Each structure stands twice: as C-alpha cells, then as structure tokens.
Amino acid sequence: MIKIKIAKHVTDNTDAHALFFVKKAIQFSSVLSENGEIQVSHFLSEVAKGISQDSDIADIDGHKTIFIDAAKDRGLSALDQLRMAGYRLGKRASQKQFKTVKLLLADAADEQFKAILHGIYYSDYHFSKYKSKIPDNFCVTYEIEADSRAKDFEKIAAEVAVEQHYIGLCKNWVNTTGSELNPDAFAKTAIQEAHRVPGLSITILNSRILAKNGFNGLLTVGSGSRFEPCMIKLSYNPKNAADNVHLALVGKGITFDTGGISLKTARGMQEMISDMSGAAAALAAICAAAELKLPVKMSAYLCLAENRIGSGAMLPGDIFTAKNGKTVAIGNTDAEGRLVLSDGLCAAAESGATHIIDLATLTGAMVRALGPSIAGFFANDDELAKQVIQAGNAACEKFWQMPLEDEYFKELEDHYADLSNVGKSAGAILAALFLREFVPEDVKWAHFDIAGPAYTTQAWKYTSYGATGFGVQTLLEMLRQLGTSQEE
C-alpha cells in the first residue's frame, strides 16, 4: 500500500530520503549542505567504480538516503527508465519498511514526475487472492517536495492514481483462474465496475440475443463450453465530446483457451487464463476514461467465450455465417480469437464508430516475430498508425507496425466458404487480413496483437509474474490525443 503527499516543502523528519541519479549527477532537485555535496559525490564515485550500486542506502546530511539510478536499464526510453527507477524505489522502501520517504522533484518535468509515480504504483501491486496467508500490506507514504509545481503535480498524481487503479484491476482479472472467471463471471464483473463509474452504460448480449442478431462467431467458439458466450457493450458519451469522433474498442475475451478440438499441448496451457487480456484492457480503459472525464465518445465490446472441448464443440471443417454475411470455414479451432472479434468489429461498425481498435492475444506468430516485449499492430490509416506509436511511447508500451500485405490474402480463400480462419504462412498478417474483412472501408481501424507483452512468466520491467496490464495506458493516451485534436 502506498500514499502520495505533495507539498511545496517537506520537513526532514521522514524515515528516508531518495535521490535519483544518472552517472555522477543528481537529478531533479537536491538541497544539500556543503558536506552533503561531498558525501553524494563520494557515493556516486563509488557507483562508477562498482563499489556501490543502485538502490544502496547511504547516510547523507544525517538522513538515510536511497540512491536510485535513473538510467540503469538497457533498451528502455528515458521515461521508462524513470518508471523502472520509481519501481525499484518502491520495492526498496517497502523492503526496508520505511514509513515515510521524501522525494525532491521540483525540477522534474510533468512527464518525468508522472513516470516516477507510475513506477512507484507498479511496485505496490500484489496478487494474493489464492494465498492461504496474505502477506502484510506495509504502507509507505511518499512525501514529494514540489515547490511551485505542487498544484500541477497534484493533478497529475490524481490521474495516475485512477490509471493505476484500473491497471491493477485489469491485472487481477487476467490473473484469476479460468474456472473462476468464466464468461458469466466476467460479465458480472463488468456490470459491477460499470455501475461504479458515472457516465457509463452497459448492455449484455446473451446467447439468445447473439443468435437473434447473427453474431455467430461467439456462438461457434463457445459451443463446446457449458458457459454460454456473450458480448458486453459499454458506452460513454460525455456532453463535451466532439460529434465526429467515436472510438470503439473491441476486446478478445477468451476466458480460457484449450484450443478446442485442435488441442494445444500441455506446455504453457495454464497461461491461457490470459487469453482475455484484450477484453480486460478494453474494460479497464473505458472505465478509466469515464472516471477521468476524457472528452471523447467511446464504446467497448467485450467478446466473451470459453474455447473448450465438449460434445457441441466446433469441428475443423465446420462453416458458419458471420454477422456481415460472409461464410467462414474452420481450418483450425485454435484460431478462435479472430472469430469472436469478427462479431465485435461488426457491432462496433453498426454503432457508427469512426475509429475502431481491437486488442487480442491473437497469434504465436507475433511473439515469434517481435518477442515478448513488443506488440505488433496493423492499421488501415497512416494517421491512426502514427497516433498508436506516439501513444505507446507516452505510455512506455512498445508497438511495431506490421504490414497488411494483400498478396497473402489468397491463403484465406476456402474451397467451400468465403473465408478460412487460417492460412499456411505469415500467421499474424493473415489474422489481421481476416479481421479487416469485418471493418468498413471508411472506418479508421487498428488491430493490436498483444500476445507477447500481455502476460509474462518471468520478471519483466515492473511485473514479476503474470498479467502486465499492457494496452490500458496506450488506449488512454490515444483518447487524450483524439480529445485534444478535436479541441484544436
């Protein structure tokens, strides 16, 4: 547990101080005595020699002082370096059980301050739901000396607190077991969260409504499970939103993916609790956007199903008619994500969305191409593609644009149906080309394949294990961009 206090000036009676450094220079602000300057210089010299290191504690001017390297991690942006610095500070302060830590950040730019706060919040995340003994939640209060920046920093801190609240919820949902968070349970969770946020409305499309309206992708994928599939629609339409922008989010919500008849191997299958990461990110993002009162009309479509083996499970070779009238042949039951997303994309288009972003842990091919740290994305509009990159950079989430290569489309042509859900090569590209078939040409669309960074089985940046909450902050940054561009 953490608390943030911001003031023009902070007294020196805290348990510890923290100083950020890069090589031999203290960053942001430090008010030290002449002797303190000498002590700091000596400590940083020892760091350069390898005698001391990041997160070490030294006595400076009579105060325990944690030294945090603000440029330690290779391959990260300057802002993400600061997030990591804040994360390590939070872990160290909690480990040493410092009740209060003083930070001198008066000279930090807004984005630098925001990055450090995000890192501190990330350090406080724990998922102990299934532990028989819940560890003590030690509380650290960070007292931030901001001088003339106090009011600006308070506003930023309030926004970060909201973002991190929903990132934490997103991670909790993904980390919950597949048997517990089935489609029905996820729908109930979405209802609870939507009712807590003023300005959000929610509609549940159950299997009967899906069938009546031709949403057969979800019905096909969910046919092998005792839990019925559903689509959740959330809407947010603030009074100050522009009339010509409507962003729709479409999230893949496979609450557990066995692969169906095209069964996955046992290795790594337990990680398939994360196959609803796209839907979790979409839900978290629209809730956060509404709470932050971002001035953009938006909606979210969570496509929820469980891909199990059962007596009614879809079979390889089956053919169904999609919402837009195209027939789809099932070449592989483990390529189910694109089938449920087809319903969400059609629903988003019917709602009059001008921009659609879908998020999905969709293909292993993307992980093989870009590894676990980078999300690949596809876009049918150059301006939207630039916005994705800019938003990702601001959110410290890495995205790489992939080509919508039409030459490969012929691999999706089926002998009997209009489309096959798989081809023979370029798996991530073919998946995107398949999804594009359900997006109107006049709608700006981007597809995020977050299969790599949505979930980790080893320590990565500020996640020790499990769900990362990837995508939530990029979506919020894109909403800010869309809101700002309309104001201009």
| Residues with catalytic function | 264, 338
Residues of the chain by 3-state class (helix, strand, coil), percent to 5: 40, 20, 40
Residues 192/483, Cβ–Cβ less than 8 Å: no
Residues 103/150, Cβ–Cβ less than 8 Å: no
Gyration radius from the chain CA atoms: 24
Neighbours of 112 (CB within 10 A): 18
User: Residue with structure tokens 């960070």?
Assistant: 142
Neighbours of 281 (CB within 10 A): 33
Distance separating alpha carbons of residues 224 and 260, to the nearest angstrom: 8
Distance separating alpha carbons of residues 21 and 18, to the nearest angstrom: 10
* C-alpha triplet 20, 24, 30: angle, nearest 5°: 45
In 3D space, the residue among 420, 229, 221 whose CA is nearest the CA of residue 317 turns out to be 420
Bridge-based pairing state of the strands 375-379 and 399-401? parallel
Helices 337-350, 427-436: axis angle to 10 degrees equals 30
Phi, psi of 360 (to 5 degrees): -160, 140
CB neighbours of 213 closer than 8 A, spacing ≥ 6?
205, 323
Residues 1/137, Cβ–Cβ less than 8 Å: yes
